A = this chain, B = another copy of it.
Amino acid sequence: MEAKNLWRFLVLSIGVVLVLLVTWLPNKEALDCNLYSGWCTSKNRFYSSAHPNNPIKKPSFSTYHHHKNQHHESEIPQHPLDPLTIQEFNKVRTILLNYPLFKSSSSYTLNSVVLEEPDKKLVLKWKKGDLPLPRKASVVAYVKGDSHVLTVDLETGQVVSQEAITWSVSGYPTMTLEDMVGVLEVPLKSTEFNRSITKRGVNLADLACLPISSGWYGTQVEENTRLIKVQCYSKEGTVNFYMKPIEGVTALVDMNKKEVLSISDNGQNIPVANGINTDYRYSIQKLNGGELRMLNPISLEQPKGPSFTINGHLVKWANWEFHLRPDPRAGIIISQAKVRDPDTSKLRSVMYKGFTSELFVPYMDPTQDWYFKTYMDAGEYGFGLQAMPLDPLNDCPKNAYYMDGVFASSDGTPYLQPNMICIFESYAGDIAWRHAECPITDLKVTEVRPKVTLVVRMAAAVANYDYIVDWEFQTDGLIRAKVGLSGILMVKGTTYENMDQVPNQEYLYGTLLSENIIGVIHDHFITYYLDMDVDGSDNSFVEVNIKKQETSPGESPRKSYLKAVKKVAKTEKDAQIRLQLYDPSEFHVVNPLKKTRIGNPVGYKLVPGATAASLLDPEDPPQKRAAFTNNQIWVTPYNKSEQWAGGLFAYQSKGDDTLQVWSNRDRPIENKDIVLWYTIGFHHIPCQEDYPVMPTVSSSFDLKPANFFERNPILGVPPNFEDDLPVCKARDSA
A residues 641-697 touching B (CB-CB < 8 Å): 683, 685, 687-696
Interface presence of A256 (CB below 8 A):
no
Interface presence of A551 (CB below 8 A):
yes
Q: Which residues of B contact A304 (CB under 8 A)?
A: 296-297, 730
Interface presence of A303 (CB below 8 A):
yes
Q: What 1/0 flags go to A708-734 for Cβ under 8 Å of B? A: 111111111111111111111111111
Let me know if A581 and B584 touch, CB within 8 A: no
Q: A548 and B689 in contact (CB under 8 A), knowing A61-B439, A292-B716, A599-B499?
A: no
A residues 570-589 touching B (CB-CB < 8 Å): 578-582, 584, 586
Q: Which residues of B contact A597 (CB under 8 A)?
A: 498
Question: Which of B294, B368, B607 is A475 in contact with, Cβ under 8 Å?
Answer: B294
Interface presence of A126 (CB below 8 A):
no
Least CB distance from A326 to B in Å reads: 16
Count chain B CB atoms within 10 A of each CB in A290, A302, A512, A687 and give the residue with the most: A687
Question: Which of B1, B48, B486 is A441 in contact with, Cβ under 8 Å?
Answer: B1
Could you tell me the distance between the alpha carbons of A706 and B686 in the complex, rounded to whole angstroms? 8
Interface presence of A429 (CB below 8 A):
yes
Could you tell me the distance between the alpha carbons of A318 and B295 in the complex, rounded to whole angstroms? 6
**Secondary structure type dominating chain A contacts:** loop
Let me know if B281 and A562 touch, CB within 8 A: no
Q: A297 and B712 in contact (CB under 8 A), knowing A367-B556, A391-B719, A397-B429?
A: no
Question: Which of B300, B367, B388 is A436 in contact with, Cβ under 8 Å?
Answer: B388
Let me know if A729 and B303 touch, CB within 8 A: yes
Interface presence of A427 (CB below 8 A):
yes
Let me know if A730 and B430 touch, CB within 8 A: no
Q: Which residues of B contact A298 (CB under 8 A)?
A: 300-302, 425, 427, 452
Interface presence of A451 (CB below 8 A):
yes
Question: Which of B51, B426, B563, B725 is A721 in contact with, Cβ under 8 Å?
Answer: B51
Let me know if B711 and A291 touch, CB within 8 A: no
Nearest residue, chain B, Cβ from A47: B722
Q: Which residues of B contact A478 (CB under 8 A)?
A: 695
Let me know if A499 and B600 touch, CB within 8 A: yes
Least CB distance from A304 to B in Å reads: 4
Could you tell me the distance between the alpha carbons of A732 and B725 in the complex, rounded to whole angstroms? 9
Least CB distance from A625 to B in Å reads: 12
Least CB distance from A343 to B in Å reads: 10
Let me know if A427 and B561 touch, CB within 8 A: no
Q: What 1/0 flags go to A542-584 for Cβ under 8 Å of B? A: 0010111011000111111111100000000000001111101
Let me know if A442 and B688 touch, CB within 8 A: no
Interface presence of A468 (CB below 8 A):
yes
Q: What 1/0 flags go to A519-560 for Cβ under 8 Å of B? A: 001010000000000000000000010111011000111111
Interface presence of A438 (CB below 8 A):
yes
Q: Which residues of B contact A436 (CB under 8 A)?
A: 388-389, 391, 459, 461, 466
Q: What 1/0 flags go to A44-71 for Cβ under 8 Å of B? A: 0000111100100010111100000000
Count chain B CB atoms within 10 A of each CB in A235, A295, A509, A713 and give the residue with the most: A295
Given contacts A391-B436, A396-B429, 12 further A-B contacts (CB under 8 A): A6-B442, A58-B446, A277-B711, A394-B450, A395-B448, A429-B455, A431-B459, A548-B616, A559-B616, A561-B616, A582-B615, A687-B705
